Amino acid sequence: MTPAVSYQPDPDADPAGLTYTFGGVEPVASLAPGSALSTWTFDCFGGAVRSASDVVSEVCDPRYLNPQTGPFFVDGAAPGDTLAVHFVSIEPRQAFGISANIPRFGSLVATPTTAMLNAPLDERTWWYELDLDARLVRYAALDSPFTLELPLDPMHGTVGVAPPLGEARSSLTPGSWGGNMDTPEMRAGVTCYLGVNVEGAMFSLGDGHARQGEGETCGVAVETAMDTVVIVDVVKGVYTDWPRVESDTHLISTGSTKPLEDAFRIAHADMTGWVGAELGLSPLDAYQLVTQVVESPVANVVDTVYTMTAKVAKRYLPGVAAYAGIHGRLRAQAAALTSPVEPLGTTERA
């Protein structure tokens, strides 16, 4: 049986249970390996954008963007292990999502680190209706009457653990510890593998998207608060250099850096090693096979560094059982979660 606990951050309490960094903060609660956690996450604006007439630069404090729920101390997770985070469910907590054009942010504009003299674009806010029954996201243009229904595809833009080397990293940044990777692959049903750098791993998550395109071109997906259930487990004695994701159909490696070809190199070198290990291939044979079968969608080209993914379909990986088959076990465990999760008493907080 899966121990099931609930943790609800409370913005009005102290501590609120929210954090703006990976690393450098005390845990809000501890979890036993193999337990299910039911929680919720704010949207990336911390709930400050309340209508289509709210403008991000006016209603948000730049020091408090992208709040994460956590961190959670996972019992027994130690440096050198891998944390497995299985997403049981990710559901919008509200019937709307928000996107925006934010000055000096996005892939097709000058930014503080791609510094230019051009004037910024106008700031705008798009309000999306979410139809949770029909599983639809409703786009409405601001400057013309055009509207469009898009599939709801909820995911977390940000999930991670404390970084190595004593660093604390802004929740706006992705890296080897996970963080703000903004890949649409982080949806319900997948398992995310993260290398553990500190005792307890210190896992957090946030930045729910009702959907996003690949690359997150303008920098802002359909942002919304999420009710999320995960099962968290520990793979002892195996470290994961860069975040990996496993779905029922694919293995996915990630890499986050600039320039984007270096993010590609990280993800595809990682996948070459992963495929080689799973199939018992020499490095050159693995490199060759990856060349012919990999899919290479961009995750984001908008955050402080960029994220690439390398995906290989399991149909090309006969007998694959990554991390000793933990994804399959967590899938089964998730399916067996039938009773409501029990609230985690505040005394459980570390």
Using CA atoms, how far apart are residues 331 and 326, in angstroms rounded to an integer?
9
Q: Which of 93, 138, 258, 329 binds a second copy (CB under 8 A)?
A: 258
Q: Which stretch binds a second copy (CB under 8 A): 28-36, 41-49, 167-175, 188-196?
A: 167-175
Using CA atoms, how far apart are residues 250 and 117, in angstroms rounded to an integer?
43
Q: Which stretch binds a second copy (CB under 8 A): 82-90, 282-290, 321-329, 340-348?
A: 282-290
Region of 23 on the Ramachandran plot (φ > 0 left; ψ -120 to 50 alpha; else beta): left
Nearer to a second copy, 127 or 331 (CB): 127
Site of tokens 């919304």: 224
Alpha-carbon distances, residue 268 vs 82, 231, 239, 298 (angstroms): 20, 28, 18, 12
Contact of 150 with 141, CB cutoff 8 Å: no
- Does residue number 167 form part of the binding site for a second copy (CB under 8 A)? yes
- Does residue number 80 form part of the binding site for a second copy (CB under 8 A)? no
CB of 262 to a second copy, least distance (A): 5
What values do phi and psi take at 327, rounded to 5?
-60, -45
- Does residue number 259 form part of the binding site for a second copy (CB under 8 A)? yes
Q: Which residues contact 292 (CB under 8 A, 6 or more apart)?
A: none
**110-139 residues near a second copy, rule: CB under 8 A:** 110, 112-122, 124, 126, 137, 139
Using CA atoms, how far apart are residues 1 and 36, in angstroms rounded to an integer?
10
Angle, CA of 46, 50 and 56, to the nearest 5° = 65
CB of 2 to a second copy, least distance (A): 34
**174-203 residues near a second copy, rule: CB under 8 A:** none
Q: Which stretch binds a second copy (CB under 8 A): 49-57, 161-169, 321-329, 341-349?
A: 161-169
CB of 88 to a second copy, least distance (A): 25
Q: Which of 204, 212, 254, 333 binds a second copy (CB under 8 A)?
A: 212
Q: Which of 290, 334, 341, 344 binds a second copy (CB under 8 A)?
A: 290
Contact of 224 with 66, CB cutoff 8 Å: no
Beta pairing, strands 306-313 & 226-235: unpaired
Nearer to a second copy, 41 or 272 (CB): 272
Binding characters for a second copy, 16-45, by CB under 8 A (x = yes) = ----xx-xx---------------------
Using CA atoms, how far apart are residues 270 and 180, in angstroms rounded to an integer?
19
Using CA atoms, how far apart are residues 186 and 144, in angstroms rounded to an integer?
33
Q: Which stretch binds a second copy (CB under 8 A): 33-41, 84-92, 162-170, 226-234?
A: 162-170
- Does residue number 255 form part of the binding site for a second copy (CB under 8 A)? yes
**300-329 residues near a second copy, rule: CB under 8 A:** 301, 305-306, 308, 310, 316, 318
- Does residue number 47 form part of the binding site for a second copy (CB under 8 A)? no
- CA 92 to chain CA centroid, nearest Å: 15
Beta pairing, strands 342-343 & 82-92: unpaired
Nearer to a second copy, 17 or 23 (CB): 23
Using CA atoms, how far apart are residues 287 and 85, in angstroms rounded to an integer?
28
**326-345 residues near a second copy, rule: CB under 8 A:** none
Nearer to a second copy, 1 or 14 (CB): 14
Q: Which stretch binds a second copy (CB under 8 A): 40-48, 53-61, 108-116, 332-340?
A: 108-116
Beta pairing, strands 250-257 & 306-313: antiparallel
Which of helix, strand or coil describes residue 329? helix
- Does residue number 170 form part of the binding site for a second copy (CB under 8 A)? yes
CB of 60 to a second copy, least distance (A): 13
